[in-house]
Structure 1
Amino acid sequence: MEYLKLFTTSELSTILKKRPKETKFGEHIMLLPDFDNIYEQLLKMDVSYVLFGIKEDVGVFANYGNTGACEAWDATIKVLLNIQSNVNTHAKKVAVLGCLDFEKYQNKLETLDQNKKKDIQKARKLVSKIDESVTYLVSQIVSAGKIPIIIGGGHNNAYGNIKGTSLALKKPINTINFDAHHDFRAEEGRHSGNGFSYVYAEGFLKNYFIFGLHENYTSDTIFKTINKLKSIQYNTFETIKITQNTDFTSEMELGLNHIEKKHFGIEIDCDAIQNTPSSAMTPSGFSANEARQFVHYFGAHENASYLHICEAAPTPENETQVGKLIAYLITDFIRAHEGH
């Protein structure tokens, strides 16, 4: 694969901070030796989860957002590999594949201006190319009977996650999206705000649940559209946390009822987690612990088929905190799924 950069033993040894009488997560993970036939290699590996990153924020740029999502993978892997390996973290069940590194496209962004329509259209064409790589890699992992855990990039990559999983399983899948935004915008060229609308229109996504929509950032047009479609359900952040007409746990149950009968993906947009550095950081959102509970609740279901954590945009000052948050979410998912 053109954009896949395999995670190597030399990278692992650079990152790993060993301590006497302790065993770190990174000491027990599996790595792929080479690029030759990833599907065949994964098929032979005694692992359940395949972790990879996506280094791009082209989709965010193409949606007029703030870039930085390309940094999430590096921030996460530094932390994750140095947590403890113990009976609760299941490191031996994990293969770290590496990342899809779209440096070529990132460099092109530097020549584009978000205020120019032509430049936005150019970025949206690049997103379609990113879609192809993500779709292919996810389909290879799922076809090999493993569960992808995808870290970083914009929410545009939900498209490739859903399509890739659907193609591997040869049927449409369901998805739950923990997000302040619906990402169901018009099919106007690909970007981070319309991954779900595209994949829904193409028939790869069946039932879709949006968890925690922010009422201030959802247009009347979108409310009218999604209210007409029985296969799309949602709740709002305001009804759960502000007016408290309902509660977090019962809303998770409602979401699960909508998606549990088919294989489903779990999408976590860091924009929904309060004060988390992201492309659209919010001062009002769910807590990190609520995000963890959410991942655990849905990850425990046998039909949970992938986890995607996106839109986090760490800077050098906060990358350790962002990496810790994402590492918690990854291990929460694995812990829950191992116990299902």
Structure 2
Amino acid sequence: MRTYFVTYQLKTINKYISHRKGEVKIGEKFKFVEGKSPLEEEIKASKSKYVIFGIPEDYGVQANHGRPGAVSAWEATLRSLLNVQQNSYNKGGKILLLGHFDFSNEAANINFSEPELPKKLQSVINRIDKEVTYLVNVIVSNGKIPIVIGGGHNNAYGIIKGCALAHAKPVNVINIDAHTDFRTTDLRHSGNGFSYAFDEGFLNKYFIFGLHENYTSKEIFNKLDDEDERIQYNTLESIAIRRERDLAGEADRALSFVQDEHFGLEIDCDAIINIPSSAMTPSGLAVNDTRYLTHKFSRNENIQYLHICEAAPDSDKKSDMILVGKLISYLITDFIKK
């Protein structure tokens, strides 16, 4: 794993911290691995409850014909998260900032303009799956909670598989998303991480929160309804437009569906209104509603991980990087506050 993983120390990320007299930022209080022992041993020895790492890639998104840019979300997050104030609400010592994956060499010889790009990207995505599965397995096996910042939603597969292997049984998932990512299991990409995990026995119960009716096919709806004992969902329109369902009530329903077993929380930024993402939307969940859901679900004792993905800021646009960085930082701090 060391081949693909870049570990951090304070000196690595200090350039991102805005030091001010009289203030302490949580980035100054984060814990880091020393790099003197195998990574697995350092994770085990850490006393931090949460382990944060990034997967800056958009290979899975591009294999799904999506808008690239998810590769930049990790840096945007670092620049914001490290500068959150250390205070009675935010305590950096609870966090082990591990580092990030770098799979760029795996894709060095790929022509991203060729028609057969999805097929050409399979070896890269399969490698990502393997490495993410292993690292999440190590983190969860040692009683810690991974917070994973992507990257594409293809990485849900490796995270779910890693958790399931750590517990030696399938896990449940709540996915706040405009899409099901439950497409056919032919080629691996960002649109079928959950169907792969479901078919291979790593995902048990699956709740999709805020599904968009305009972008879900009849075939997918039929597939979900055929598996109604293990898959449930609500739609954005039923909550926010027709007001048939109440957000708080739906949060309780989702939690009731998954909380009997270990479960993970997925947040796809495509679900949130006006956030630069691989499928940016003018109609979606409000940021504060997403924060509320994150806080509520994270309070449950069976929560296993947080995965935030598909944010795709333009790295050349300062406004994009600030917006995405602040959004993801809010969601992370909402997740870890007790």
The bucket for the TM-score relative to the shorter chain is over 0.9
8 Å Cα contact 2:103/2:124 also seen in 1: no
Displacement of 1:124 in angstroms is 2.7
8 Å Cα contact 2:107/2:124 also seen in 1: no
- Aligned position for 1:331: 333
Once residues 93 and 10 of structure 2 are traced to their aligned partners in structure 1, the CA distance between those partners, rounded to angstroms, is: 16
- Aligned position for 1:231: 230
Counterpart selection for 2:148 from 137, 141, 150 = 150
Change (3 A) 1:35 1:251: farther
Q: Which amino acid aligns with 1:75?
A: A
Give secondary structure in 2 for the equivalent of 1:88: coil
Q: Which amino acid aligns with 1:161?
A: I
Once residues 293 and 103 of structure 2 are traced to their aligned partners in structure 1, the CA distance between those partners, rounded to angstroms, is: 30
Once residues 105 and 250 of structure 1 are traced to their aligned partners in structure 2, the CA distance between those partners, rounded to angstroms, is: 45
Displacement of 1:80 in angstroms is 0.6
Q: Which amino acid aligns with 1:174?
A: N
Q: Which amino acid aligns with 1:329?
A: L
Q: Which runs of 5+ in 1 are unaligned?
A: none
Q: Which amino acid aligns with 1:281?
A: M
Which shows bigger deviation, 23-32 or 10-19?
Answer: 10-19
Q: Which runs of 5+ in 2 are unaligned?
A: none
2:272 is the counterpart of 1:273: yes
Once residues 106 and 210 of structure 2 are traced to their aligned partners in structure 1, the CA distance between those partners, rounded to angstroms, is: 32
- Aligned position for 2:48: 47
Displacement of 1:106 in angstroms is 4.8
Displacement of 1:133 in angstroms is 0.7
Once residues 194 and 109 of structure 2 are traced to their aligned partners in structure 1, the CA distance between those partners, rounded to angstroms, is: 25
Give secondary structure in 2 for the equivalent of 1:197: helix
8 Å Cα contact 1:55/1:103 also seen in 2: no
Once residues 302 and 240 of structure 1 are traced to their aligned partners in structure 2, the CA distance between those partners, rounded to angstroms, is: 27
Give secondary structure in 2 for the equivalent of 1:309: strand
Q: Which amino acid aligns with 2:112?
A: L
Q: Where in structure 2 are the equivalents of 1:186-335 lying within 5 Å?
A: 186-229=184-227, 230-315=229-314, 316-317=316-317, 318-335=320-337
- Aligned position for 2:72: 71
Once residues 140 and 301 of structure 1 are traced to their aligned partners in structure 2, the CA distance between those partners, rounded to angstroms, is: 22
- Aligned position for 2:164: 166
Displacement of 1:35 in angstroms is 6.8
Once residues 15 and 25 of structure 1 are traced to their aligned partners in structure 2, the CA distance between those partners, rounded to angstroms, is: 12
Task: State the number of aligned residues.
Answer: 333
Change (3 A) 1:329 1:106: farther
Change (3 A) 1:151 1:269: same
C-alpha deviations, 1:19-48, integer Å up to 9, x for none? 111111111110111173222212221110
Give secondary structure in 1 for the equivalent of 2:97: strand
Under a length normalisation based on structure 1, what TM-score does the superposition of the two structures give? 0.96
Q: Which amino acid aligns with 2:218?
A: D
Displacement of 1:103 in angstroms is 1.5
Displacement of 1:9 in angstroms is 2.5
Once residues 325 and 195 of structure 2 are traced to their aligned partners in structure 1, the CA distance between those partners, rounded to angstroms, is: 29
Q: Which amino acid aligns with 1:333?
A: F
RMSD over aligned Cα atoms:
1.2
8 Å Cα contact 2:184/2:195 also seen in 1: yes
- Aligned position for 2:61: 60
Q: Which amino acid aligns with 1:223?
A: F
* % identity of equivalent residues: 49
8 Å Cα contact 1:263/1:303 also seen in 2: yes
Displacement of 1:125 in angstroms is 3.1
Give secondary structure in 2 for the equivalent of 1:155: coil
Change (3 A) 1:266 1:108: farther
